[in-house]
Amino acid sequence: MQKSYSKLLGIVGKPNTGKSTFFSAATLAPAEIANYPFTTIKPNRGIGYVRTPCVHEEFNVSDNPANSLCMNGIRLIPIEFIDCAGLVPGAWEGRGLGNQFLDEIRRADVLLHIVDASGGTDCEGRLCRLGENDPLEDVKFLEREITMWMANILRKDWPKIARTAETESKDLATMLEERLSGLGIRRAHIFEAIRNSGLNADKATFWSEDDYLKFMNMLRQTAKPILIVANKMDLPTSEANLERLKKSNRLVIPICAEAELALRRAAEKQLIDYRPGDCNFKINTPEKLSESQVKALEIIREKILLDAGSTGVQEAINTAFFKLLNMITVYPVEDLERLSDHMGRVLPDTYLVPYGTTARQLAYIIHTELGEGFIYAVEARDKKRLGEDYMLRDRDVVSIVSARKRA
Ligand SMILES: Nc1nc2c(ncn2[C@@H]2O[C@H](COP(=O)(O)OP(=O)(O)OP(=O)(O)O)[C@@H](O)[C@H]2O)c(=O)[nH]1
Ligand SMILES: [Mg+2]
């Protein structure tokens, strides 16, 4: 698999909320899971998947996936995951494993904030009575920590940047981009944050401390979008907290990471048929399962899958990419008749690209030469010629005609 992990998803939150359980379930990589804070000290990295219905059924062909997987009609597109160390209040000032945590999310495109929806862990991740902790406070705290961290990185230079933007030819966005590119912050993020905060970028020396923090908060929202993942939905106090989280006007996905982990482990051993994100499973080999294992699986089926429709883990990953990052899937091919690449592999690759990507930009993503020599593209369904500015649609199968081929 090549080129496909261009996106990085950060799994964040205070200690003991189920980050490593989520990570293990999503990636099936071994990660220590235990009932105490700071189980994860070194970042765990692994590959998980975005799920989408594959186009091969629509075209009535069988496929030979290369950069992704296809499981009975479901395309799984690989994404890099990072399981971050638990974040405690004051991390931006260096408390706990604070700086390490914040360093880990520098490269992340999107964050999944794993929250203990049951309210059974306090603000530092220690176990407490169910319902005692308020998960909405955890959500606000994490947002603030990241905003303060970003604000702090720039604070020393801010007066000079603001002055230069007013008196010299260099504009604010250019200077901020130079200073913040290490955090994965791009020009488009900066423009959006300026627009959304309603501040005057030409008069930055007049910004108050509150204005500065407001801008940083907007920048965090655009550059590091956060999906709230309400974990431990199997516990009785979680439902009421989920409703409160949803009312706070944030995107929230309820999950049970432990159930997903159990299902994926059983599926890995081929004890059950279960694809990530499915709403049910089939027991393949009842003779290989103990009575208590069957019982545990049936509880998951009844209490989680039939009730909620899925464990939510796959939905959380998909929501991060399709809703927060607004991505679409496209299938580049070389031979439009066979829908294959030059090796004869049918529908080999699926790319996740931002909505708004043009045919030529896709060509560049695939290979620089393909982009440079771009002549036109053709979509497999209606076979019309598409110019370089054609905006790709979700599930497009495109062939790019270029004057230059891969070296
Ligand atoms: N009831 C319930 N418990 C869960 C669920 N997911 C995880 N847990 C439990 O929560 C505890 C913490 O899980 P971890 O995955 O180690 O948590 P973490 O967030 O990685 O913790 P740190 O690495 O210390 O930051 C463990 O006892 C898990 O079994 C769930 O869906 N339901
Ligand atoms: Mg952990």
What pLDDT does 100 receive? Answer: 67
- Nearest by Cα to 377 from 334, 343, 340, 329: 334
3-state SS, one letter per residue, for the chain: CCCCCCCEEEEECCCCCCHHHHHHHHHCCCCCCCCCCCCCCCCEEEEEEEEEECCCCCCCCCCCCCCCEEECCEEEEEEEEEECCCCCCCHHHCCCCHHHHHHHCCCCCEEEEEEECCCCECCCCCECCCCCCCHHHHHHHHHHHHHHHHHHHHHCCHHHHHHHHHHCCCCHHHHHHHHHHHHCCCHHHHHHHHHHHCCCHHHHHHCCHHHHHHHHHHHHHHHCCEEEEEECCCCCCHHHHHHHHHHCCCCEEECCHHHHHHHHHHHHCCCEECCCCCCCCEECCHHHCCHHHHHHHHHHHHHHHHHHCCCCHHHHHHHHHHHHCCEEEEEEECECCCCECCCCCECCCCEEEECCCEHHHHHHHHCHHHHHCEEEEEECCCCCEECCCCECCCCEEEEEEECCCCC
Token pair for 219: 């920048």
CB 38 within 8 A of CB 80: no
Task: Check if 121 has its Cβ closer than 6 Å to any atom of ligand 1.
Answer: no
What pLDDT does 254 receive? Answer: 98
CA distance 36 to 40: 10
Task: Check if 277 has its Cβ closer than 6 Å to any atom of ligand 1.
Answer: no
What pLDDT does 87 receive? Answer: 85
Instruction: State which ligand 1 atom lies nearest to the alpha carbon of 231.
Output: 31
What pLDDT does 104 receive? Answer: 80
Task: Check if 120 has its Cβ closer than 6 Å to any atom of ligand 1.
Answer: no
Closest residue (by CA) to atom 13 of ligand 1? 18
Q: Full-prediction pTM beyond 0.85? A: yes
Task: Check if 38 has its Cβ closer than 6 Å to any atom of ligand 1.
Answer: yes
Regions in the chain scoring below 50 on pLDDT: 1-4
Taking only the tens place, the pLDDT of each residue in 262-299 is 999 999 888 999 998 999 999 988 899 999 999 999 99
CA of 11 to the centre of ligand 2 (A): 10
- Nearest by Cα to 233 from 82, 119, 334, 352: 119
What pLDDT does 168 receive? Answer: 77
What pLDDT does 95 receive? Answer: 65
What pLDDT does 274 receive? Answer: 92
What pLDDT does 29 receive? Answer: 62
Task: Check if 44 has its Cβ closer than 6 Å to any atom of ligand 1.
Answer: no
